[in-house]
């Protein structure tokens, strides 16, 4: 799953038999995805997440059992390691990340191989490599490395490191078989004895001038790579080669061995660069530099470093304490290293001076002076921003370019200024011409304006004269017409007043007649009801006396009549009563017309037409005793129509008949004239209700 641009993934539950998984060159950043894989792929042994975006390595708490052995997370953004993801991990590669430190518990795990190369690590903890056999720590900013006792380390690579000294005896590397110290520019001393297991030693571009005499005493068939080193070609310094079989001095750049008869005390800096027999070492500002003091001898007691001008003692070290030197002058800038070299730190202009290394013995003292200068070689390098030559060329080119741009800008600005001046002069001329033209235009406009106003005034005067003439003519005609119209209006109003008075009189007569008729009808109705009740009681008493029947019989008869009332109409009911009572039709004087309730005069309209009268008759279906009133109304309406047939006037402004405005009746009159509904067949209903009431009284 390489180069798939994966950002995240989800794994369903299940058992997977995958043993190797490579997910390099993706966009993964969440460390939980690693734990998810370890949880679901329990048989996984090799897992690679190179070239992703992980930032931390931590323990996966949810992973109970996993067989992962090899984990590679190179070229990520890992800043620190909290703990290993699984307990049984044996191979871990975290090179090319952003780690600045390594926790000590990493080296206490069961790891067999660990690669931490190409990280900004400045300090390593004490390595307790009881199980670790392979360690790669290339391109680190460390200046020392320590190993605990019982180390089983077999492979160690410290290429391009900042280590100053390497002591095999103190490192406790008894199982080491491979050591890589290539490009160790700061390494000046190697002490101790190489273990018998050492098979390969790589050392190049270092300041090491010699090995201890018994360094290769225990080694057999060792492979040495000592290219581009500063080994001394003096016979007194080459005693370490006696334990090497068929060693070729050309490997260390010695084409000729210098023979010295007295090896009691010797300082050899011949491998250092010299100018006119003066040893000169250079370094850039702000960096550090090692000044070697390569001495050998059997009678050496101590050595010291001094600053020549002003003469200042930097530090003095006994030969017995050469492994733990002490610096007394500016320890922040000067440090005497184990083995006798002087380290200059944070180089400044004040540190440019001559430094003398003096070795003391019982018989004589030998000294060697090294001149330190600042390195300005970068001024002539191909890098433009570091090289003085190319920088000067670049600055001169930029200056010429700026001058050229300035000249071009000056020419352009000058031309723009001249063009602006010419334009201003030209505009001033145009402005003068425009002013003259504007003055001439204003004079012509004023002349035209005056002429226009004069013509307008003449037209206005003519118009006013014509308008006054027309107004006077119209006024005279209107006066004549108004007099005629006034006369006609007076006649019309008189006629309308007469019609209104006549209408009101007729309405009043109708209302009086209707009131009297209604009173008569009410009196007649009450008298008929009294006669019916009296007749009913007399007939009941007559029946009881004549037929000698009891009241209960009459009551039962009436009850049976009431029960069958729903199936009989009014005529059948009356026939049944006559049959039971043995009555003739002449015994009961009925006058249906007199018992019918006629419409009250209050329900009459104020003025009815023939059509309304005919609709009332067809709806009620009876002959009203007040029909002479309706006939009277119809005759009145016909008379009015005949009277007003030949009279034409507009009465739309007055509601009511003939356009006469009639005042509304008061609320009190409306309450008095509400009609009361009296049903027809009053005789049958009155007898039935009266019999029923009397029956209830007898029963009680």
Buried b (16+ CB within 10 A) or exposed e, 264-300: ebbbbbebbeeeeeebebebeeeebbbbbbbbbbeeb
Pair of tokens at residue 12: 């369903």
Rg for the chain (alpha carbons), in Å? 71
501 burial via Cβ count (<10 Å: 0-12, 13-18, 19+):
exposed
Answer for the pair 597, 626: CB distance below 8 angstroms, yes or no: no
Digit-coded pLDDT (tens) for 298-332: 888 888 999 998 889 998 888 888 777 878 888 88
Q: Is CATH 2.60.40.10 what the domain over 274-381 is classified as, yes or no?
A: yes
Q: What's the helix, strand, coil split of the chain in %, to 5? A: 40, 15, 45
Q: In the chain, which residues have pLDDT < 50?
A: 586-700
For residue 645, the model assigns a pLDDT of 41
Answer for the pair 369, 356: CB distance below 8 angstroms, yes or no: yes
1-153: CATH topology is 3.80.10
For residue 583, the model assigns a pLDDT of 53
For residues 101, 104, 109 and 112, what is the CA-based torsion angle, rounded to 10 degrees? Answer: 60
Coil, strand, or helix at residue 658? helix
Digit-coded pLDDT (tens) for 350-391: 999 999 999 998 888 889 999 999 988 777 777 767 677 777
* 382 Cβ neighbours under 8 A, 6+ residues apart: 390
Helix (H) or strand (E) holding 145: none
Buried b (16+ CB within 10 A) or exposed e, 669-697: eeeebeeeeeeeebbbebbbebbeebbee
d(CA 616, CA 618): 6
């Amino acid at each position: 799953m390489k180069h798939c641009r994966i950002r995240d993934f989800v794994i369903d539950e299940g058992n997977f038999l995958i043993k190797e998984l490579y997910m390099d060159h993706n966009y993964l950043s969440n460390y939980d995805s690693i734990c998810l894989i370890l949880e679901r792929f329990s048989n996984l042994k090799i897992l690679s997440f190179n070239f992703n975006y992980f930032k931390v390595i931590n323990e996966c708490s949810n992973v109970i059992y996993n067989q992962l052995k090899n984990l590679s997370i190179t070229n990520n953004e890992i800043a620190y390691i909290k703990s290993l993801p699984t307990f049984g991990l044996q191979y871990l590669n975290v090179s090319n990340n952003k780690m600045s430190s390594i926790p000590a518990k990493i080296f206490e795990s069961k790891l067999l191989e660990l690669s931490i190369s190409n990280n900004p690590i400045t300090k390593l903890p004490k390595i307790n490599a009881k199980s670790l056999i392979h360690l790669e720590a290339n391109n680190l900013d460390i200046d020392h490395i320590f190993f605990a006792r019982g180390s089983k380390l077999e492979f160690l690579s410290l290429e391009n490191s900042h280590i100053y000294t390497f002591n095999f005896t103190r490192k406790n590397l008894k199982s080491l078989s491979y050591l890589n110290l290539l490009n160790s520019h700061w390494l000046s001393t190697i002490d101790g004895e190489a273990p018998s297991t050492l098979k390969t030693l790589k050392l190049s571009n270092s300041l090491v001038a010699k090995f201890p005499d018994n360094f290769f005493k225990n080694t057999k068939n060792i492979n040495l790579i000592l290219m581009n080193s500063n080994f001394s070609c003096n016979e007194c310094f080459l005693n370490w080669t006696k334990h090497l079989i068929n060693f070729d001095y050309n490997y260390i750049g010695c084409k000729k061995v210098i023979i010295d008869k007295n090896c009691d005390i010797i300082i050899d800096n011949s491998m250092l660069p010299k100018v006119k027999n003066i040893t000169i070492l250079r370094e850039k500002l702000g960096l550090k530099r090692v000044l070697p003091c390569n001495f050998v001898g059997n009678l050496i007691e101590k050595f010291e470093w001094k600053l020549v001008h002003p003469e200042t003692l930097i530090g003095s070290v006994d030969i017995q304490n050469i492994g733990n030197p002490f610096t007394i002058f500016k320890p922040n800038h000067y440090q005497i290293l184990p083995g006798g070299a002087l380290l200059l730190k944070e180089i400044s202009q004040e540190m440019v001076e001559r430094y003398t290394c003096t070795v003391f013995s019982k018989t004589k003292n030998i000294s060697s002076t090294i001149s330190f200068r600042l390195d300005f070689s970068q001024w002539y390098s191909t890098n433009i921003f570091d090289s003085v030559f190319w920088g000067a060329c670049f600055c001169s080119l930029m200056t010429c370019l700026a001058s050229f741009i300035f000249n071009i800008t000056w020419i352009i600005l000058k031309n723009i200024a001249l063009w602006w001046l010419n334009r201003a002069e030209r505009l001033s001329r145009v402005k003068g011409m425009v002013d003259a033209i504007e003055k001439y235009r204003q004079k012509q406009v004023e002349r035209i304006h005056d002429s226009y106003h004069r013509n307008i005034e003449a037209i206005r005067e003519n118009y006013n004269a014509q308008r006054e003439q027309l107004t006077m003519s119209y006024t005279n005609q209107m006066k004549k017409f108004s007099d005629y119209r006034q006369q006609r209006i007076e006649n019309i109003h008189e006629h309308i007043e007469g019609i209104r008075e006549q209408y009101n009189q007729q309405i009043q007569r109708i209302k009086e007649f209707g009131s009297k008729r209604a009173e008569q009808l009410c009196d007649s109705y009450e008298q008929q009801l009294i006669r019916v009740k009296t007749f009913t009681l007399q007939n009941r008493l007559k029946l009881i006396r004549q037929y000698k029947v009891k009241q209960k019989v009459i009551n039962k008869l009436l009850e049976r009549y009431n029960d069958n009332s729903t199936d009989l109409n009014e005529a059948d009911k009356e026939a049944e009563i006559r049959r039971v009572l043995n009555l003739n039709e002449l015994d009961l004087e009925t006058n249906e017309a007199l018992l019918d309730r006629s419409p009250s005069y209050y329900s009459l309209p104020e003025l009815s037409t023939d059509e309304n009268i005919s609709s009332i008759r067809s709806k009620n279906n009876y002959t009203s005793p007040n029909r002479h009133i309706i006939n009277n109304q119809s005759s009145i309406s016909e008379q009015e129509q005949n009277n007003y047939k030949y009279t034409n006037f507009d009465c739309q402004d007055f509601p009511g008949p003939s356009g006469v405005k009639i005042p509304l009746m008061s609320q009190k009159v409306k309450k008095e004239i509400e009609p009361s509904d009296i049903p027809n067949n009053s005789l049958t209903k009155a007898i039935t209700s009266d019999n029923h009431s009397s029956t209830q009284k007898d029963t009680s």
